[in-house]
Amino acid sequence: MTAVHPGPVLPRPRGPLSAAVVRILREEPGRASFPLPGEPEPFGEDLHLALYTLYELHYQGFTEADPEWEWDPALIAFRTVLERTFLAALRAGIPGGDDVGSTVDELLVEPADARGVTHFLRDEAEWWQLREYLMLRSLYHLKEADPHAWVLPRLRGRAKAALVAVEFDEFGGGSAERMHSQLYADLLAGAGLDPGYLAYLDQTPAVALATVNMMSLFGLHRALRGALVGHFAAAEITTAPSAARMALALERLGADPACVFFYTEHIEADAVHEQVLRHEVLGDLLAREPGLAADVVLGVQATEFLEQRLGEHLLGRWRAGHSALV
């Protein structure tokens, strides 16, 4: 018999914007008025928790929030201001351009002296640091591939068919037990952590929430379909080597086999997905819509930009002996 878990609950606010969102979502839809957002910090805790909470209405929702809030006009207008603030900051933080080939090729070569988060976890981390990493990554992996599914109705032809093939793998090839989101829940349980959906939302800092918010932003806007595909390609290209390092990190620390399996599953799968996304999805998309090249570059570069910010946060906190969680 399938276990039934209670739905997600609204998070603890981190400022006036997220406090207003949490308060209003407990009210009856259509009667509340959202505050003027002003000029919030584009990468701040308050904006990203507010945005994450609003986006979650399109996924699993919250037990205290009426489902009718999902497309409430006042809510969408409020969210749009936050989105524009975030997107403008992303554009300002990257070099931009429209050379997709060179941008993607740069992802294929890892510098010999690279020392990122997964290198640290493989070689130096203690168990508590690895557990923190697993916790904050749960915000994406427990909804793995869901944000990318939004782009499917926006594609055509070979690009659409190829991306569906990748998503089919992400969703377990038709087997619920093999869905990557379920494999991550198994990983969390194997690590002695809570496998519940959004269990660690209150502990996850904005620098990690931003990586998931970016996916939702790109996925929910047809105008940003190129950016979503660019992001997905960047993620698949860089996953296999980082997953290999994570598997070694978990083995070094004697983790449960379910923890290791999640990452070994991604080593082979994402190596294949990378080829499909580069040649089938990107190739066909840009042949049909060459004007999307700059948006594809945006998706690739924004992914790298946010992952770099996250890596700096994690390594800075951990090397100082501090927790990287909120």
Full DSSP string of 50-91: HHHHHHHTTTT--TTS-GGGGG-HHHHHHHHHHHHHHHHHHH
Determine, yes or no, domain membership for 10.
no
- Work out how many domains the chain is built from and give that number: 2
Looking at residue 272, its pLDDT comes to 81
80 and 118, same domain (yes or no): no
Query: Is the separation of the CB atoms in 152 and 167 below 8 Å?
Result: yes
87 and 111, same domain (yes or no): no
Residue 148 has pLDDT above 50, yes or no: yes
Residue 6 has pLDDT above 70, yes or no: no
CATH number, position 161? 1.20.910.10
Residue 249 has pLDDT above 60, yes or no: yes
88 and 111, same domain (yes or no): no
- Residue 59 is which amino acid? Y
DSSP secondary structure letters along 7-22: PP-PPPP-SHHHHHHH
- Residue 221 DSSP SS3: coil
pLDDT in tens, 37-95: 888 999 999 999 999 999 999 999 999 999 999 999 999 999 999 999 999 999 999 99
- Burial pattern 282-298, b for ≥16 Cβ within 10 A else e, equals bebbbeebeebbebbbb
Determine, yes or no, domain membership for 4.
no
**Structure token pair of residue 57:** 């209405």
152 and 242, same domain (yes or no): yes
Percent of the chain with pLDDT over 90: 87
DSSP secondary structure letters along 256-276: -HHHHHHHHHHHHHHHHHHHI
Who contacts 34 (Cβ-Cβ below 8 Å, separation ≥6)? Answer: 20, 21, 24, 74, 75, 77, 78
Query: Is the separation of the CB atoms in 296 and 286 below 8 Å?
Result: yes
Instruction: Please classify residue 74 by burial: count the beta carbons closer than 10 Å to its beta carbon, then call 0-12 exposed, 13-18 middle and 19+ buried.
Output: middle
Final residue before a domain boundary, out of 62, 92, 122: 92
75 and 181, same domain (yes or no): no
Residue 113 has pLDDT above 50, yes or no: yes
- Residue 161 is which amino acid? A
Determine, yes or no, domain membership for 11.
no
187 and 299, same domain (yes or no): yes
88 and 136, same domain (yes or no): no
Region 138-153: mean pLDDT is 97
Domain that holds residue 124: 98-319
Query: Distance between CA atoms of 273 and 312, rounded to whole angstroms?
Result: 27
Looking at residue 5, its pLDDT comes to 58
pLDDT tier for residue 182 given thresholds of 50, 70 and 90: very high
pLDDT in tens, 195-209: 999 999 999 999 999
128 and 272, same domain (yes or no): yes
Looking at residue 1, its pLDDT comes to 41
Region 140-155: mean pLDDT is 97
Determine, yes or no, domain membership for 7.
no
84 and 102, same domain (yes or no): no
Q: What is the pTM of this model?
A: 0.95
User: pLDDT: is 114 or 181 the higher one?
Assistant: 181
154 and 283, same domain (yes or no): yes
145 and 270, same domain (yes or no): yes
37 and 176, same domain (yes or no): no
Determine, yes or no, domain membership for 6.
no
What does the mean pLDDT of the chain come to? 95
Looking at residue 31, its pLDDT comes to 84
Looking at residue 269, its pLDDT comes to 75
Query: Distance between CA atoms of 29 and 27, rounded to whole angstroms?
Result: 6
Residue 2 has pLDDT above 60, yes or no: no
pLDDT tier for residue 268 given thresholds of 50, 70 and 90: confident
- Burial pattern 162-172, b for ≥16 Cβ within 10 A else e, equals bbeebbebbbb
